């Protein structure tokens, strides 16, 4: 894996974290939930799309 693909991987992880926190905040309005779901990142985003939405 080259440096460019690693950078894309890091960017994807960061975007997933931010997206999870935004979704969590819009549902729960809780900082603690937003931080926890931010740690889960893409797992929470996929969970939301499959089961909550």
Radius of gyration of the chain (CA): 12
Query: Greater confidence, 1 or 6?
Result: 6
Task: List the domain range (segments joined by +) for residue 24.
Answer: 3-52
**How many domains, in total, are found in the chain?**
1
Largest CA distance in the chain: 40
- The first and second tokens of residue 14, run together, are 């960061």
Query: For 3-29, what is each residue's pLDDT tens digit?
Result: 666 776 667 778 999 999 999 999 999
Q: Contacts from 11-19 at CB under 8 Å and sequence distance 24+? A: 12/42, 13/41, 13/42, 16/41, 16/42, 16/45, 17/41, 19/45
Secondary structure letter of residue 21 according to DSSP:
H
């Amino acid at each position: 894996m080259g440096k460019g693909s690693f950078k894309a991987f890091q960017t994807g992880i960061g975007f997933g974290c931010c997206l999870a926190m935004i979704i969590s905040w819009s549902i729960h309005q809780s900082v603690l939930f937003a931080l926890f779901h931010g740690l889960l990142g893409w797992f929470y985003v996929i969970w939301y799309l499959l089961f909550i939405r």
